[in-house]
Amino acid sequence: MPARPDHRERTLVAPAICAGVGVHTGQRVRLSIRPASTGTGIVFVRSDVTDRDNRIPVAGDAVVDARLNTMIENAAGVQLSTIEHLMAAFCALGVSNAVVEVDGPELPILDGSALPFVQLLDRAGFRRQEAPVRYIQILEPIHVTDGDKHAALLPCDRYEMRFEIDFDNAVVGKQVIDFVVDEQTFRDEIMAARTFGFAHEVEALRQAGLARGGSLENAVVIDGDDILNPGGLRMEREFVRHKALDAIGDLYVLGAPLLGRYEGYKAGHAVNNRLVRALLDAPHAWREVVLEPQLARVG
């Protein structure tokens, strides 16, 4: 079954505030997540932009760059990048409505996982709203392929995910995870998995204007057959768990949780967004549904 049996929208009780560095820009930014009324959805606001519309509502077609992160843009050309970890936390914790103010072009990376965002949201608290959650029910399979990478959405009566990676590297290698996407599983198995990269790629990324804020404090860095982070990995198969975390966030740009099964092989943000757009382009393959709360049995 989906994560919460009440099937009602959810927002925060109070604002949640933090600050940190953007992993690609290296710029320090302040983030404030605020409660929002029913029907708002997830809306980002660039508080440092004052000369034009600075609100960026999240939507599948708002994603304009998905090379190494998920970047969204509004009609006025205002952009915001690296939203995927916070979006994954929103999805797993059932946050339907929130306004996220940020005073820079990129969300803070924090420790490279969704754990700090979950802790931030937990401290703010959650408020149940009366409107029913809209689920996106997958009716027919949707597939996308990019070389040897592929992803699919398949019909299923709950939200499931299977992810497989296969790196020519002894540290990472081939890893698979298959799980039900719900709040408890996310907290127990997914949220603490950190983003990762290879030491030999860092200089090229920085020359391209990326990874300027990356460090061992916010990413697992692999150098040949070694992990450079002093503490090593946090968990078994941390690499594939993080790819699943990214996928949960990438798919939540649809604005609603899924009733369907996602299967990804070597998929990244770009393939995930192609899958989102393919779904939106196939209205026969999905529908919006609301579910009734589960009633306790009597007798």
Q: Mind telling me the catalytic residues?
A: 269
**Helix (H, G, I), strand (E, B), or coil: what is residue 123?**
helix
User: How long a stretch of residues is the chain?
Assistant: 299
Q: How far is CA 6 from CA 74, 131, 185, 252, 296, in A?
A: 33, 11, 18, 20, 12
Phi, psi of 5 (to 5 degrees): -75, -10
Q: How far is CA 34 from CA 17, 101, 127, in A?
A: 9, 8, 12
- Token pair of 86, please? 């916070």
Element (H, E) at 278: helix 269-280
**Helix (H, G, I), strand (E, B), or coil: what is residue 165?**
strand
* Residue at token pair 């998995």: 193
